[in-house]
Amino acid sequence: MRVLATYNIKGGVGKTSTAVNLAYLSARDGSRTLLWDLDPQGAASFIFRIKPRVKGGGKGLVRRTSSLEDAIKGTDFDDLDLLPADFSYRNLDLLLDAQRKPVRRLRQLLRPLAEDYDTVILDCPPGISLVSESVMYAADTLLIPLIPARLSLRTFDQLTDFVKALDDRPPSLAAFFSMVDRRKRLHRDVVTALTAERDDLLRTAIPNATAIEQMAEQRAPVGVFAPRSVAAACYEALWAELQT
Partner 1 sequence: MPDATAYFVADDADTVGLASALDALAQRFSVEQSVARSLLRTWLDTDDWLLHKAGMVLEQRESTTDGLRLILRRAEGREHTQPVEVITWPARIDALPPGPVRAQIEGVVGIRALLPVASLRALRRDVRVMNEDRKTVVRMAIESSPKSGATQLPDHLTVSAVRGYQAQADRVTARLATVTGIFAVATSPYEQALQANGRVFGDDVPTPVEMSASMPARNAVTAVIHSFLSTVERTLGGVISDIDTEFLHDFRVAIRRSRSTLKLSGDVLASGPAEQLSLDLKWLGDLTSPTRDLDVYILGLPDMADGLQSAAPADLDPFRDYLLSRRRTEFRLLVRALRSARFRRALDHWRALGLETEPSNPGKLTSAGELAADRLSRAHRRVTKRGSAIGADSAPEELHDLRKRCKELRYLLEIFRPLHDPATHRAVLRDLKALQEVLGEFQDSEVQGLAVREFALTMLSTGSAPARTVLAMGELAAQLSAHQRHARTAFAGSFAVFNSADSKRRFREVTRGSSG
Residues of this chain that interact with partner 1 (CB under 8 A) are 30-32, 48-51, 71-74, 76, 78-79, 81, 116, 118, 219
CA angle, corner 43, sides to 83 and 112, nearest 5?
15
Question: Up-side HSE of residue 179: CA atoms within 13 Å toward CB?
Answer: 15
How many angstroms separate the Cα of 66 from the Cα of each of 33, 62, 141? 21, 9, 27
- Rg (C-alpha) for the chain, rounded Å, is 17
Residue number with CB closer to partner 1 (162 or 225): 225
CB of 172 to partner 1, least distance (A): 23
Distance from CA of residue 183 to its chain's centroid?
27
Query: DSSP letters of 119-165?
Result: EEEEEPPSS-SHHHHHHHHH-SEEEEEE-SSHHHHHHHHHHHHHHHT
Q: Reduced to 3 DSSP states, what percent helix, strand and coil does the chain have, rounded to the nearest 5?
A: 50, 15, 35
Residue number with CB closer to partner 1 (158 or 218): 218
CB of 48 to partner 1, least distance (A): 8
Residue number with CB closer to partner 1 (20 or 153): 20
Residue number with CB closer to partner 1 (73 or 90): 73
CB of 152 to partner 1, least distance (A): 35
Query: DSSP letters of 78-92?
Result: TTEEEE---GGGGGH
CB of 85 to partner 1, least distance (A): 14
- Taking the chain, what is the end-to-end CA distance rounded to the nearest angstrom? 17
CB of 46 to partner 1, least distance (A): 9
CB of 72 to partner 1, least distance (A): 6
Residue number with CB closer to partner 1 (118 or 181): 118
3-state secondary structure of 205: coil
CB of 119 to partner 1, least distance (A): 11
Helical axes 15-28 vs 230-243, angle rounded to 10° = 70
